[in-house]
Structure 1
Amino acid sequence: MIKLAIIGKWFYAVAFIVFGIQHFIYAEFAATLIPAWIPWHLFWTYFVGVAFILAAISIIINKYALFSCVMMGIMLAMFILLMHIPNLVNHPQDPQRWTRALQDVLFMGTALMLTGELKLQTAGKYLFAVPIIILALQHFAHANFVTAKVPAWFPAVEVWDYIVGIVIIVAAIGIITNRYMGAPALMLAILLFTLALLYHVPLLIADVHSGQQWTGAMLDIAIAGGAFVVAALPAVYYKPASMAT
């Protein structure tokens, strides 16, 4: 369990270090994502970049990690409230906006799970698992930007898309219902990580300087990291309610 937690926190933290660096490399673009009514767009862009990097390092070295994870969760909650919800209100039919919002919800859930605090971990588990189910449903629409994309060179891609969607949903339901210990979460983590490698590595080799490819790869790696963190949660989460203490 400890090894799974270490893998998960490294995946999550490294992804956010990359996101933080991108706030400096692509500062002008990142600034456009901030709501127009908030002043000093570039300042907040750099501020978020620094916050991501420092929080990720804190998580890796386990120094002030509780504080960093709570602050990360609060920051992601602010993204959801200030950016994603207004965007969804204005563009309710845009599936990509829904995807990014849901990804930030599950990233917030992962941050809470990494706090090590029982109540926050419980909330974090559900904030991670419920969005995963909604994201998995997009596999049935063959949306090419969803979590754990199926590589285009797979035979019968649409069939695999259905299979991946079903497996993710079943695993997420197992997480929510606390069935079979951490096995569903571990299965989900391995699936997401494997598909992320198969999909993103060839694209990054073809264009290693593509910021868009790096963002997509790190989003999927961070989500896989969250699944590893779920798999490492204490056994109390996987006991039937009548047995939990």
Structure 2
Amino acid sequence: MALLVIPSTVIWSYGVAAVVLAAWLVAISLRGDWQKAQGFDKLLLFGTLFYAAPVAAFGTEHFTLTNAIASIIPAWIPWHYFWVYLVGACFIAGGLSLVTGIQARLAASLFALTFFLFVILMEAPASAHQLRNRFALTIVLREISFSGGALALAARLTEEQHRRGGHILATIARYFIAIPVLFYSFEQFMHGDHVPAVPLEPLTPTYIYGHAIWTYLAAVAYAVTGALLFVGKKTRAAATWLGLTVLFVELVVYVPIGVVERASLDNGLNYVFDTLMYCGAVLLLADAMPRSRQNSQSIS
């Protein structure tokens, strides 16, 4: 019945995300990651999945919505359809690489570069022409956060003999997450009626229990954790609590939206997976931050 009611564009994206989920479950089972992780480190294991499944689903859209995606590529860039298909295939392959661990550092580095190029080539120029549109800046900062999450994973996977370079990458990733978080905190305080986590244009639906309280709750958590990340204090704890905040918002706000809008790509799947991927980026940052000296099993 789902195949009959839900459009094929949505089904394909959910299907590819499900494949990534299955690959992640097999990989962590074979490696014994869940048994090895202690305390909140078990939560951090989900960072890779939360990042990889959405990015693979978005890669699928490059094949199901080729014309629409090609239309947003700047006119001066040649071979629009070639880039749409190439990026789509790379997103799917890269998502599988992250969860299986096969060439994961290379995939993470390329994801970080890709999203940064999206900002430079498309999002930032578009935002510059819409200076009064706060949502344009929100999207720019979201893409920077996606780049930061992948950069954090690449830093964590850097070999021991190159730890200094890994530390530099992790520091850049921290700022790529912290600065958007502080801006998002301000936006959520100012516009509590809009959806939380990544404060985009839609209003929080009235059927969401608690309604605007979740946006203000996220704003407070963002202000505290974002400030700690920005100044470099208790960074692992701050990123972990930030990730928990986004995950909580995902469950209480975006999952209900996804259920109601299950047949919609724009209003359903994309909003659910955007926020899930943002959560994944934050958890990847947390996993790349140094552990507390007092207690390696504590997040503080």
User: TM-score if structure 1 supplies the norm length?
Assistant: 0.88
Higher relative contact order (CA 8 A, sep 6+): 1
CA distance in 2, matches of 1:130, 1:70: 21
Shift of 1:225: 1.2
2:197 corresponds to which of 144, 147, 150? 147
1:225 equivalenced with 2:280 (yes/no): yes
Moved over 6 A (4+): none
CA distance in 2, matches of 1:183, 1:29: 40
Structure 2 matches for 1:26-175, cutoff 5 A?
A: 26-115=65-154, 116=156, 117-142=166-191, 144-145=194-195, 147=197, 152=206, 153-155=208-210, 157-175=211-229
Shift of 1:205: 1.8
Structure 1 residues 181 and 138: CA distance shift in structure 2, 3 A: closer
Residue deviations 1:10-48 (CA, integer Å, cap 9, x gap):
100111011111111111111111111212222211111
Residue deviations 1:173-220 (CA, integer Å, cap 9, x gap):
122233345222222111111111222222222232211121111110
Calculate percent identity across the aligned residue pairs.
25
Contact 1:96 1:145 (C-alpha < 8 Å) held by counterparts: no
**Partner AA of 2:251 in structure 1:** L
The match for 1:243 is none
The match for 2:237 is 183
1:211 equivalenced with 2:265 (yes/no): yes
Contact 1:4 1:229 (C-alpha < 8 Å) held by counterparts: no
Contact 1:5 1:232 (C-alpha < 8 Å) held by counterparts: yes
Count of residues in correspondence between the two structures? 237
Contact 1:99 1:146 (C-alpha < 8 Å) held by counterparts: no
What RMSD in Å do the two structures reach over aligned CA positions?
2.1
CA distance in 2, matches of 1:130, 1:214: 26
Contact 1:4 1:232 (C-alpha < 8 Å) held by counterparts: no
Specify the SS of the correspondent of 1:232: helix
Shift of 1:2: 4.8
Structure 1 residues 76 and 30: CA distance shift in structure 2, 3 A: same
Shift of 1:159: 4.8
Shift of 1:82: 0.7
Residue deviations 1:97-118 (CA, integer Å, cap 9, x gap):
1111110001000011001232
What are structure 1's unaligned runs of at least 5 residues?
Answer: 240-245
Structure 1 residues 2 and 183: CA distance shift in structure 2, 3 A: closer
Structure 1 residues 3 and 118: CA distance shift in structure 2, 3 A: farther
User: Which has the higher Rg, Structure 1 or Structure 2?
Assistant: 2
**Partner AA of 1:163 in structure 2:** L
Structure 1 residues 151 and 172: CA distance shift in structure 2, 3 A: farther
1:20 corresponds to which of 53, 59, 62? 59
Structure 1 residues 79 and 37: CA distance shift in structure 2, 3 A: same
Shift of 1:126: 1.3
Residue deviations 1:118-137 (CA, integer Å, cap 9, x gap):
22122111111111111222
What are structure 2's unaligned runs of at least 5 residues?
Answer: 1-39, 157-165, 294-300
Shift of 1:138: 1.3
